[in-house]
Structure 1
Amino acid sequence: MQRYFISDNNWTKEQVHIDGEDRHHIVNVMRMTSGDKIICCNVDGSSYLVEITEITDDKVTGALVEALDEKQEMPVKVTIVQGLPKGDKLELIVQKGTELGMFAFIPVQMDRSIVKWDSKKESKKLSRLRKISKEAAEQSHRSKLPLIHEKHTLKEVLSENTYDHLFVASELEAKAPSEDGSFAEALKQISPGDNLLVVIGPEGGLSNDEISFLTSNQFKSIRLGPRILRTETAPLYVLSAISFYFEEWR
């Protein structure tokens, strides 16, 4: 069944109003008519079975049939902090990260980031990333959209610290493994409901200054297996491992 994320101001106690691209998709792509049913999700994570009652030139109106008790969200909240990579890698990370259950995403201009965002580009890029995340959340049947934050610095990320666990993916740990860098052991310290922050460097990795800054602020270095992963692979490894550990294995 088709799923749509609808902004909070489009809801009433008994109805939901769907406009813009979602209205176009329902009417012109899916060719739906009155009586057809869809699932609509609110920004608060609630979702409803909805029956279409009216279609006009500017909106689709649906009646709320029943609230759904969905459990697709990860039992821990994982925020990915990603050093800005080249090309369209950021879009891939956001798309696949959304499918894998990412709670939030923070792009960061790091010392070795080749890409530079100016203020004019940032707004357009964030709009594109949020659209990609929305489509991925609908496709993967999530009930909550990941938060796609504006570009931060590492200092800004830490100034907003509300996390229970702080991790940084370390290339050094992959090259010279230590017992303290075990991701498997780190996962054992996490409980359902916890908030995790995971920092991933850009193509050139984290600089020595960035590593020192993070470790001095209580970040735990973790290794993501014995191989050196690409910047776009690392966050997907993290999310896959956490999903398996908390949703399948435990």
Structure 2
Amino acid sequence: MYHFFIAPEQLSGDSAVILGSDVRHIGSVLRMKPGEKLMVNAGGDWEYLCEIAEIERDSVSLRVLEGRQETRELPVSITLYQGLPKAEKMELIVQKAVELGAAAIVPVEMHRSVVRLDEKKAAAKQKRWQAIAEAAAKQAGRSVIPEVALPLSFQEALRRVEAEGTELCLLPYERSSGMAATRELLRSVKAGQRIAVMIGPEGGFEETEVEAAENQGFHALTLGKRILRTETAGLVMLSLVMAETEED
């Protein structure tokens, strides 16, 4: 069943309304008709089964049939700090990270990042990535749309980690070893924690970046004996945390 997000003010009693770009998507792309059903989320853990009452040029009116509290978010809040890769890789990372439960995604310009974005390009890219995050959240049935931040420098990213009061900071690094230590860190995760996952770009981390992150409280860890691509490492890390924390 199709899933859409609406603002809280677009829900009132037994009726709701969908506005914006989703209107065209419902009418022209999905070719839905009055009487068909869909799900909407107005923020938080409540979702609503609705029936289309009317499709107009700039709105879709809904009848609310049923509301239910359904938690689809992980019991931990994971922010993925992704070393800025080439554009198509970042789009894949955003999409899959949202599907795996990331609460936020922060692109980070690191020493070995191939891509460099000026302010105008960064804003355009962030808008595109946020749209991908929204589409992925709809597809995955998420309760919220994760934030995709504007790209930060490495030092700005470390400051954000500190400012958010992050309780567990993980940094997969190809020069680390000891899967037992990795498993121990994952098993230490507790519900309600804020977790940061820092991933290097295509060229990997500079040693000075790893040292700076460790001084900030990051744990450098291994994901095995194979060297993973930047678009793989973060998704593996998210999958491991999800598997360790997901509730029945």
TM-score by length of 2: 0.91
The range that moved more, 189-198 or 14-23, is: 14-23
How far apart are residue 9 of structure 1 and its match? 4.6
For 1:186-244, what per-residue CA distance to the aligned partner results, in whole angstroms no more than 9, with x for missing partners? 01111112110010010111112211111111111111122110000001101111122
Structure 2 residue 169 is matched with structure 1 residue 166: yes
Equivalent position of 1:53 in the other structure: 53
Q: How many residues align?
A: 245
Alpha-carbon separation, structure 2, partners of 1:113 and 1:13: 50
- Give runs of aligned pairs for residues 2-17 of structure 1, distance below 5 A: 2-17=2-17
For 1:58-84, what per-residue CA distance to the aligned partner results, in whole angstroms no more than 9, with x for missing partners? 110113332222232222111100010
- Give runs of aligned pairs for residues 105-184 of structure 1, distance below 5 A: 105-159=105-159, 160-173=163-176, 177-178=177-178, 182-184=181-183
Equivalent position of 1:218 in the other structure: 217
SS at match of 1:233: helix
SS at match of 1:117: coil
How far apart are residue 14 of structure 1 and its match? 4.1
SS at match of 1:80: strand
Alpha-carbon separation, structure 1, partners of 2:150 and 2:86: 17
SS at match of 1:106: strand
SS at match of 2:97: helix
How far apart are residue 85 of structure 1 and its match? 0.6
Equivalent position of 2:72 in the other structure: 72
Equivalent position of 2:81 in the other structure: 81
Alpha-carbon separation, structure 1, partners of 2:23 and 2:116: 35
How far apart are residue 45 of structure 1 and its match? 4.5
For 1:137-164, what per-residue CA distance to the aligned partner results, in whole angstroms no more than 9, with x for missing partners? 1112222211211112233233323211
Alpha-carbon separation, structure 2, partners of 1:14 and 1:157: 43
Percent of aligned pairs sharing the same letter: 37
Structure 2: 5+ residue runs without aligned partners?
Answer: none
Alpha-carbon separation, structure 2, partners of 1:17 and 1:109: 40
Answer yes or no: is the 8 Å Cα contact 2:173–2:221 preserved in 1.
yes
4+ aligned runs moved over 4 Å, structure 1: none
Task: Specify whether residues 117 and 46 from structure 1 end up closer, same or farther in structure 2 by C-alpha distance, changes over 3 A only.
Answer: farther
Alpha-carbon separation, structure 1, partners of 2:215 and 2:40: 44
Equivalent position of 1:234 in the other structure: 233
How far apart are residue 170 of structure 1 and its match? 1.1
Equivalent position of 2:195 in the other structure: 196
For 1:82-123, what per-residue CA distance to the aligned partner results, in whole angstroms no more than 9, with x for missing partners? 010124100000011111111110001111111011111112
Equivalent position of 2:206 in the other structure: 207
TM-align CA RMSD: 1.9
SS at match of 2:231: coil
Answer yes or no: is the 8 Å Cα contact 2:39–2:47 preserved in 1.
yes
TM-score by length of 1: 0.91
